[in-house]
Structure 1
Amino acid sequence: MAEAVTGPEAYDAGPYVPQRAGLEELREAAAGCRGCPLYGPATRTVFGSGDASARVVLIGEQPGDQEDRRGLPFVGPAGRVLMRAVDEAGIDPTETYVTNAVKHFKFALTGRGKRRIHKPPSLRETAACKPWLDAELTLLDPEVVVTLGATAGKALLGSGFRVTRERGVPMAGPPGGAAPGGPGPVLVATIHPSAVLRAEDERERVYAGLVADLRVAAGALR
């Protein structure tokens, strides 16, 4: 296992990512990642999960409280919203792989330190974790990549990405993949499913927008 680095280069997971590794080897290696300070307070690394031959990869922001405790992505309320929307949009949930741009839970403690409140990862933390996401996408070589929310979109499209401007529009996905020279994935951006839960009075409308964007992703499948 690589040793944790310090100084300006501390924000980089690259030294921890094994070369020519399969998904299980990546998952095992990620458990020991010390590529940024987020590993310290978090319970564990939360790596991606799903079908190794997935046609669709769904990328969120970071694990939440339940994901951090259980070690799996999208197992909380937002995950349930996402899988319902995926199915309603015509994408087979068994042909999906879910992961996050950042693999550790970033939070603040409230209520006498007993409650962990989500804090968005910084651009620096997102960039530090990107070698893991790149390795996942290279191995999976999906037909479609769906970014869920601003952090995931910025991880792949840069800091100028805006969900409100670019959601629901098919665009060229990240280069690379398991088949050099082959067609890259189609990328479709949409909101994070947690936005549906926060919508309250407009929940049905926001959920319908998520489903509509996912239908665009379903239509891009070859």
Structure 2
Amino acid sequence: MTRPDTTTTTGADPYVPTDAADLADLRAAAPGCRGCDLHQDATQVVFGRGDADARVVMVGEQPGDVEDRQGLPFVGPAGHLLRRAVDDAGIAADQIYLTNAVKHFRFQLKGSRRIHQTPDRVHIVACRPWLVAEFAMLRPEVVVVLGATAAKALLGPSFRVTRSRGVPMPWPDSAQRARDFPVAPARLVATIHPSAVLRADDRETAYRGLVADLTVAGKLLAG
């Protein structure tokens, strides 16, 4: 497959293989993506991980510093916290597919430190074809949206996690998203990103809220 030679923000469409048979094909193609400028400074692309038959798909924002170095999603501090919250919510880790709305780490250098920066709308839109391609390979029963960036990618800019967190919703909720993300009969639960717990003044209260939201997702799995 011919790949365009460009570093401009063209979007990921030209780089997503149209003949991908499975997640492994997508994962193999993702390092070649030049759909936005984030690839220029990131160490590597960080694709999703988990089984294609996973009952739960959790979508976060973007990889962090540790994820960028290791090439795996949710292996840094926020990922460790999410794993603990998943366990406390009674969801089996092997039932989960983890991914992010944006596949490269966006950061700002301060000395030798790489400080997280929230992806812009252009990055979310540019990376959306990878997320669409992932969902085309998945058939989850529950989709968990972790934070505002993931909500914008999956549900549009008007969705507010703080208004609708922990509330089971039908998925998807529009004809356009039904075309992009054909994962019926999945249900959706939105919650905060685990990194928000780490930033919270009252971490214990924030953590309990995250576990409560994930428990809702767990109960949906239980029927």
Using structure 1 for the length normalisation, give the TM-score.
Answer: 0.92
Deviations, residues 78-135 of structure 1 (Å, cap 9, x unaligned) = 0011011111111111110101000000000002xx1100000011110110111111
Gaps of 5+ in 1: none
Question: Secondary structure at 1:35's aligned position in 2?
Answer: coil
Which residue identity lines up with residue 170 of structure 1 in the other structure? P
Match of 1:193 in 2: 194
The reply on whether 1:54 has 2:54 as its aligned counterpart is yes
Once the two structures are superposed, the pairs formed by residues 1-222 of structure 1 within 5 Å of their partners are: 1-5=2-6, 10-21=9-20, 22-111=22-111, 114-174=112-172, 175=178, 183-200=184-201, 202-221=202-221, 222=223
Which residue identity lines up with residue 213 of structure 2 in the other structure? D
Question: Secondary structure at 2:137's aligned position in 1?
Answer: helix
Identity %: 61
Give the deviation of 1:152 after TM superposition. 0.2
- Structure 2 CA distance for aligned equivalents of residues 128 and 177 of structure 1: 14
* RMSD of aligned Cα (Å): 1.7
8 Å CA contact 2:7, 2:37 repeated in 1: no
Give the deviation of 1:20 after TM superposition. 3.7
Q: What is the aligned residue count?
A: 215
Given the superposition, is the C-alpha separation of residues 51 and 177 from structure 1 closer, same or farther in structure 2, using an over 3 Å criterion? farther
Using structure 2 for the length normalisation, give the TM-score.
Answer: 0.91
Give the deviation of 1:6 after TM superposition. 6.1
Gaps of 5+ in 2: 173-177
Deviations, residues 19-78 of structure 1 (Å, cap 9, x unaligned) = 241111100100110011111000100000112210001111000000000000000010
